[in-house]
Amino acid sequence: TFGRVLECWDREAREYVAIKVVRSIRKYRDAAMVEIDVLNRLTKNDITGL
């Protein structure tokens, strides 16, 4: 999905993180949710632990 990516400081993890901001339009929100699901699946199945 298209959106603006911001570099932010996570105060709990004490590290920089990327936050993606998408427009509040249903098709963009739906696409973002699919993207989140894919990223979660990749993270869950990452044998390298990165």
Question: Do the Cβ atoms of 20 and 9 come closer than 8 Å?
Answer: no
For residue 45, what pLDDT is reported? 87
pLDDT tens for 2-32 read 789 999 999 999 999 999 999 889 999 999 9
The DSSP annotation for 22-44 comes to --S-HHHHHHHHHHHHHHHHHHH
Domain that holds residue 16: 4-44
Question: Do the Cβ atoms of 33 and 20 come closer than 8 Å?
Answer: no
Is the residue at 34 inside a domain? yes
For residue 16, what pLDDT is reported? 98
Is the residue at 50 inside a domain? no
Is the residue at 49 inside a domain? no
DSSP tag of 13? T
Q: Alpha-carbon torsion 9, 2, 48, 42, what sign?
A: positive
Q: Is the pLDDT of residue 48 over 90?
A: no
- The predicted model scores a pTM of 0.68
Q: Alpha-carbon torsion 33, 35, 36, 41, what sign?
A: positive
For residue 1, what pLDDT is reported? 64
Domains contained in the chain, number: 1
